[in-house]
């Protein structure tokens, strides 16, 4: 594959760069002098900025035009990410919605759902959250216990708990995976729902993390009433629908590294500012290792892009990009903290957020162990993990706490 921009890609890059040059002064400042501090103000400013990016065609790049997207390919999405990173402006606020949940609705939703939800999602008017993980269902996502019961009139009643729900505290809607049939094996009894976050019986409780932010939440559902039209992709088909979201999640994280600012040039520039570190062979060696890992991610990413460009779904090997990018960035964060000292973690440091957030990113989108297991089994053909719950109705399994599920 030719790794340079084609003339069309170069023209697209110039167009994106031109738009950003013209509009970047309107972007909210999130770090350094003049940065916004109040969390509500930050969210409000980032919503407005997302709306501008959408109007400029820099959000929903790969969404079909009929839903407000650009109808372009994944390569254009990467070019857009790279240019947003280069312009040092924030990306869209609702990366989860636009990157993962919107594409899931596009793939599995009804026409009514697409026309009702996608436009406001793209413009940041309605932010979405992903209500998948539970206290006893993370890596083993098919073990979810939030329970939706079908009523005689075709509506549903939902009870249960979710956790680690990013952005739930300001989301308008969530895409939720619930158990709707406990008498079949666990992957078969699941259904995906759209949940209005202001529905009666929904309680959101924030969780503050080490970076100082409170991006995650626990969300409780107490007999929440849902219309029949809240189902996405058909009752009982929730696992297939969830797999679509997880595929987009992996690709979004794996290809988004440069948009997140995890670039070896940026790391090297920070370290080169310190005279002693610049000459230290050990520091140079470590930096070289990180740079080569990130370079390997970039080139492996081109394989994923090629698959996507040809209309194929990237295989399980795509998960390795996520593992490597996070490992490389954690190594870079450690190195920068060694070189800059405690100042690297000061509130006004451009590195504080990255360094404290990255350990969490190890779990988000699939933990390293799970992604390596998947690659071991499905790419290298190693013997699979024993699966003792295969073929057994969910109601006959024991939960982690030892109670009957
Ligand atoms: C930054 C961040 C954002 C997130 N945002 C969301 C969100 O918006 N919505 C949402 O639904 N969830 C979200 N999550 C949750 C995320 O999906 C889960 O953290 C992830 O699936 C892992 O689940 P867990 O935390 O329950 O860990 P567990 O599954 O309990 O795993 C604990 C440890 O055991 C290991 N382990 C588990 N099973 C195996 C196995 N079979 N073999 C080897 N090792 C194993 C894991 O690798 C891990 O190290 C977020 C998490 C983070 C950190």
Residue in the block written with tokens 């995906």: 192
Q: What is the rounded average pLDDT of the residues 184-199?
A: 97
* Tens of pLDDT, residues 198-207: 999 999 999 8
What local confidence, expressed as pLDDT, does residue 402 receive?
41
**Share of residues in the chain with pLDDT > 70 (%):** 94
Atom of ligand 1 nearest to the CA of 129: 8
135 CA to centre of ligand 1 in angstroms: 10
| pLDDT tops 70 at residue 166 | yes
Confidence class for position 401, pLDDT limits 50, 70, 90: very low
Contacts of residue 221, defined as CB under 8 A and 6 or more positions apart, other chains included, come to: 146, 158, 159, 160, 161, 162, 195, 201, 202
Residue in the block written with tokens 């790969």: 62
CA distance 167 to 50: 15
* Tens of pLDDT, residues 288-343: 999 999 888 888 877 777 777 777 766 777 778 888 888 899 999 999 999 989 88
| pLDDT tops 60 at residue 170 | yes
Domain boundaries, the chain: 7-93, 128-237, 262-366
Residue bearing the CA closest to ligand 1, atom 39: 370
Confidence class for position 3, pLDDT limits 50, 70, 90: low
Question: What is the DSSP code (8-state) at residue 394?
Answer: G
Strands 128-131 and 173-179: parallel
What local confidence, expressed as pLDDT, does residue 404 receive?
42
| pLDDT tops 70 at residue 398 | no
Q: How many CB atoms lie within 10 A of CB 263?
A: 20
CA distance 70 to 387: 43
Choose among 34, 90, 102, 37: nearest CA to 63: 102
Confidence class for position 184, pLDDT limits 50, 70, 90: very high
Note if 368 is an active site residue. Answer: no
Catalytic residue (one of 134, 215, 249, 293)? 249
Backbone dihedral angles phi then psi of residue 232, each to the nearest 5 degrees = -110, 120
Superfamily of domain 128-237: Butyryl-CoA Dehydrogenase, subunit A, domain 2 (2.40.110.10)
Residue in the block written with tokens 């079909």: 64
| pLDDT tops 60 at residue 21 | yes
What local confidence, expressed as pLDDT, does residue 403 receive?
43
Q: What residues are in contact with ligand 1 under a 6 Å CB criterion?
A: 96, 129-130, 132-133, 138-139, 164-166, 360-361, 363-364, 367, 369-370, 373, 385
3 CA to centre of ligand 1 in angstroms: 34
CA distance 368 to 101: 23
For all residues of the chain together, what is the average pLDDT?
90
CA distance 290 to 278: 15
Backbone dihedral angles phi then psi of residue 32, each to the nearest 5 degrees = 80, -165
Tokens of 282: 């050990």
Rg of the Cα atoms in the chain = 22
Residue bearing the CA closest to ligand 1, atom 24: 138
Q: What is the rounded average pLDDT of the residues 215-239?
A: 96
The beta strand positions in 17-85, using DSSP E, are none
Instruction: Please give the CATH number for the structural domain made up of 262-366.
Output: 1.20.140.10
Q: Which H helix or E strand runs over 223?
A: strand 216-226
| pLDDT tops 50 at residue 271 | yes
| pLDDT tops 60 at residue 257 | no
Q: Inter-axis angle of helices 74-87 and 238-255, to 10 degrees?
A: 50
326 CA to centre of ligand 1 in angstroms: 15
Atom of ligand 1 nearest to the CA of 130: 9
| pLDDT tops 90 at residue 345 | no
b/e map 151-173, b = 16+ CB within 10 Å: eeeeebbbbbbbbbbebbbbbbb
Residue in the block written with tokens 């290792």: 289
Separate counts of helices (H) and strands (E) for the chain? 13, 8
């Amino acid at each position: 594959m030719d790794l340079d921009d084609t003339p069309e890609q170069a023209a697209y890059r110039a167009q994106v760069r031109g738009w950003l040059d013209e509009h970047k002064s309107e972007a909210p400042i999130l770090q350094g002098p003049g940065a916004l501090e109040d969390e509500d103000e930050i969210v409000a400013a980032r919503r407005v900025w997302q709306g501008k990016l959408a109007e400029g065609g820099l959000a929903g790049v790969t969404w079909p035009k009929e839903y407000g997207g650009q109808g372009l390919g994944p390569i254009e999405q990467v070019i857009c990410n790279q240019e947003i990173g280069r312009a040092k402006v924030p990306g869209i606020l609702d990366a989860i919605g636009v990157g993962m949940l919107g594409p899931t609705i596009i793939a599995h939703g009804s026409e009514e759902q697409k026309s009702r939800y996608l436009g406001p999602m793209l413009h940041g008017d309605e932010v979405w959250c992903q209500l998948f993980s539970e206290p006893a269902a993370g890596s083993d996502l098919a073990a979810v216990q939030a329970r939706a019961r079908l009523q005689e009139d075709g509506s549903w009643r939902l009870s249960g708990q979710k956790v680690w729900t990013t952005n739930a505290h300001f989301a308008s809607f969530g895409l939720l995976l619930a158990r709707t049939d406990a008498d079949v094996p666990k992957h078969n009894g699941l259904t995906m729902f759209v949940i209005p976050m202001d529905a009666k019986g929904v309680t959101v409780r924030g969780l503050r993390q080490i970076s100082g932010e409170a991006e995650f939440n626990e969300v409780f559902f107490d007999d929440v009433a849902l219309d029949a039209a809240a189902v996405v992709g058909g009752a009982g088909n929730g696992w297939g629908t969830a797999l679509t979201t997880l595929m987009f999640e992996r690709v979004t994280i794996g290809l988004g590294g440069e948009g997140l600012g995890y670039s070896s040039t940026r790391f090297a520039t920070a370290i080169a500012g310190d005279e002693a570190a610049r000459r230290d062979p050990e520091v140079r060696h470590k930096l070289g290792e990180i740079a080569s890992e990130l370079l390997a991610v970039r080139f492996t990413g081109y394989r994923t892009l090629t698959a996507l460009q040809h209309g194929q779904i990237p295989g399980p090997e795509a998960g390795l990009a996520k593992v490597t990018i996070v490992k490389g960035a954690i190594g870079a964060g450690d190195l920068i903290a060694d070189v800059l000292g405690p100042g690297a973690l000061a509130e006004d440091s451009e590195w504080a957020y990255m360094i404290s957030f990255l350990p969490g990113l190890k779990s988000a989108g699939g933990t390293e162990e799970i992604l390596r297991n998947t690659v071991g089994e499905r790419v290298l053909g190693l013997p699979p993990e024993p699966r003792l719950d295969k073929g057994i109705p969910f109601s006959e399994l024991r939960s982690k706490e030892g109670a009957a599920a």
